[in-house]
Amino acid sequence: MKQPVFALVDCNNFYASCEKLFRPDLRNTPVVVLSNNDGCVVARSKEAKALGIKMGVPVHHIKSEIRRYGIQVFSSNYTLYGDMSRRVMTTLESLAPKVDVYSIDEAFLDLTGIDRVVSFEEFGREVKNIVYQNIGLPVCVGIAPTRTLAKLANYAAKKYPATEGVVDLTNPERQRRLMARVPVEEVWGAGRKLSARLQAMGIVTALQLADTHLSTLRKQFSVVLERTARELNGVPCVPWEDVPAPKKQIMCSRSFGQPLRTLSDLEEAVTHFATRASEKLRSGEQFAGGLMVFIRTNPFKATAPQYSRSTSVKLIKPSQDTRVIVQQALTLLRPLYREGFDYAKAGVMLCDLMDGSGVQEDLFEIAAGDVSDRARSERLMAVMDTINRKSRAKVTMARGAGPSAFVMRRERLSPAYTTNWIDLPNVH
């Protein structure tokens, strides 16, 4: 049986690259993208990284650098990033027989046997060039016999300019040379806390981790780290996911752009979150057996009174109906509310998820030959989803249709270049 080979394709500085794509005037300008409510830096262009801008730094801490270096600052535009991600993944699916999407900007490709037609490095360069030509986003490609090694190859493709963004790590000697240079904290899954424990044992490079006795890793750490070491030695241990595992929970929550004080404002926010969670539930063809609602104040505002509560309920009958989920969420919210607090965040989580086969029909409706409540609900939700997907006008629950007091603060939001006709860029 031929040894498997994986490629990890990773978009470079994805959020910042998306913002630059439709702004050619920013080609060589440092760019940062901010978190929800324009709080902290969550993405940086290569120019911003070169200036020493750190990931996670609050934007108000770098005001002087923004002025001094002319750094362009953007609010997170998740609509744009999601659509650009879809385009990248669609392109990758046209190039490889199997694609496993790992995150919004990363995907593993199965390249097993492709070297009978073209070399791995040549194919990696073709992937890199086609993605850039079709989408306009730069990517790096790491190729290796395991996913963990492919991650390391991608790390090298990003770090060393001489590679021109593509590293083939299928050769065992090249694997060991690279692992000797890579800090152990850069190994996929090692993490900061685990790396500190490894370094205390004298394991400071990826190669030292690969050469550590497997029983020692299993005994002192876990079977997960043992699998990581096996993968570093070229033994695949991470199964290929042809079909993503169904979600076990769906969470929809958000920090508010400004504190909310009234119950009516919180009801509007929770209605919105419950509606979005229901849409995600139906897109996965799942039903929720229960839900949880939480509200809280800002724990980082020490001078303000603090309050945090959550509660949950098990549904009598699993549902994917927005009406049912919103009603249950509001029923849970109202006893939680207390006057006199500045609420900074709320959320709705759907749990006990199952597919339609796990939902029991009403025996009496079946015996009478009536159209079941579930069938009527599914038809109504399908119509509503179709309207919301294809029309500019949206069908929403009445409680969530008013002016939104809870919307995020996004003062530097770029246009929705690829998903809104009004925001299409003009070419002069």
pLDDT value of residue 48: 95
pLDDT-based confidence at residue 5 (cuts at 50, 70, 90): very high
pLDDT-based confidence at residue 405 (cuts at 50, 70, 90): low
pLDDT-based confidence at residue 191 (cuts at 50, 70, 90): confident
- Residues of the chain with pLDDT > 90, as a percent, come to 61
Question: CA-CA distances (angstroms) from residue 10 to 45, 50, 234, 396?
Answer: 15, 20, 21, 37
Burial of 7 (0-12, 13-18, 19+ CB in 10 A): buried
d(CA 147, CA 163): 19
Residue 363 has pLDDT above 50, yes or no: yes
Cβ atoms within 10 A of the Cβ of 353, count? 20
Residue 368 has pLDDT above 50, yes or no: no
| pLDDT one-digit tens code per residue, 245-291 | 667 889 998 888 788 999 999 999 999 999 999 999 998 889 999 99
pLDDT value of residue 400: 64
Are the C-beta atoms of 120 and 149 separated by less than 8 Å?
Answer: no
pLDDT average, residue stretch 228-248: 78
Q: Sketch out the chain's domains with CATH numbers.
A: 6-164 (3.30.70.270), 171-245 (1.10.150.20), 250-400 (3.30.1490.100)
The conformation of residue 183, written as its DSSP 8-state character, comes to B
pTM assigned to the model:
0.76
**Residue 141: which residues within 8 A CB-CB, separation 6 or more?**
7, 8, 9, 10, 124, 125, 127, 128, 154, 157, 165, 166, 167
Provide the token pair at 295: 């509200």
Does an H or E element contain 39, and which? Answer: none
Q: Which of 46-60, 299-313, 403-417 tops mean pLDDT?
A: 46-60
**Residue 326: which residues within 8 A CB-CB, separation 6 or more?**
271, 274, 275, 278, 397, 399, 400
pLDDT average, residue stretch 219-243: 83
